[in-house]
Amino acid sequence: MFDPEKVLIDSTEWIRKFFEENGPGCNAVVGISGGKDSAVTAALCVRALGRERVIGVTMPNGFQPDIKDAYKVIEHLGIKHFEANIKEAVDAVLNSINQVQTISEQTRINLPARIRMATIYAISQSNNGRVANTCNLSEDYVGYATRYGDGAGDFSPLADMTVTEVRLLGKALGLPEEIVLKTPSDGLCGKTDEDNLGFSYDTLDRYIRTGEISDMKIKARIDELHRNNLFKLKPIPKFVL
């Protein structure tokens, strides 16, 4: 049984210990999207390190309709922040590639996530930082993250928590309810996560935690996604002499 109060204490201590071992005095750098995952991650870092050691980064790709939610989180936590609009960088790369080959739709969707990660690492490196990964277990289980994009980072507080559990933790942290309960979206393709996946997070979370599921077609879909995307969770294969 998920106990948000206990997890709050344990995850805060885990972050504190990570920084003691991997960067005493360093700052936690968190990409703030305006969704629950980045909000909960940033709030945990504030609890563990103090707001003066947490830096939020907003990275709209041109116009971001819900950017106000990101700033609501930043204001609520009282953290320092930077905004870096990635549109010119994304367009430059796409235009360059487009001169030599046709660009797939999936490439167009994934590229901004990878440029965001390059951007946040640049900001982190210039601010004595460690980059927070904000992915949760539900997303990782079905590969709903861009490898070397939002799937990257130096530490990952939410990697073993489902969407349902992250929401419970967000409530325990006292984050704004409209952020915690906001419909998940990658902010890149214009659809919700559940539209793209073809099933709800409630269904996925129950299957992950209990193995229970009523729709065998959805079970097969989840199992296929999990199997096909396991490589994203493993270290890069290497040739060994």
241 belongs to a structural domain = no
Nearest to 60 by CA among 134, 135, 126, 115: 115
Looking at residue 193, its pLDDT comes to 80
Closest CA to 156 of 50, 41, 234, 236: 41
CB 141 within 8 A of CB 208: yes
CATH number at residue 49: 3.40.50.620
Q: How does the average pLDDT of the chain come out, rounded?
A: 95
Q: What is the pLDDT of residues 208-240, one digit of tens each?
A: 999 999 999 999 999 999 999 999 999 999 999
Give the per-residue pLDDT at 134: 97
pLDDT tens digits along 77-118: 999 999 999 999 999 999 999 999 999 999 999 999 999 999
pLDDT higher than 80, residue 185: no
Query: What is the rounded average pLDDT of the residues 57-85?
Result: 96
pLDDT tier, 190 (very low <50, low <70, confident <90, very high otherwise)? low
Task: Look at residue 239 in the predicted model and tell me its pLDDT.
Answer: 95
Q: Which domain holds residue 157?
A: 4-233
Answer whether residue 240 is part of any domain.
no
How far apart, in whole angstroms, are the C-alpha atoms of residue 159 and residue 142? 13
54 domain residue, yes or no: yes
Return the closest-CA partner of residue 90 out of 65, 128, 59.
59
Q: What is the C-alpha separation between 208 and 122, in angstroms, rounded? A: 35
Over residues 69-81, the mean pLDDT reads: 98
Which ranges of 99-215 would DSSP assign to H, the alpha helix?
105-125, 137-141, 163-172, 177-180, 193-197, 201-210
Total domain count, the chain: 1
Q: Which residues of 83-103 are buried (b: 16+ CB within 10 A; e: fewer)?
A: ebebeebbeebeeeeeeeeee
pLDDT of residue 170: 98
In the 8-state DSSP scheme, what is residue 104? P
pLDDT at position 188 over 60: no
User: Does residue 172 fall inside a structural domain?
Assistant: yes
Please report where in the chains the tokens 């948000």 appear, as a residue: 4
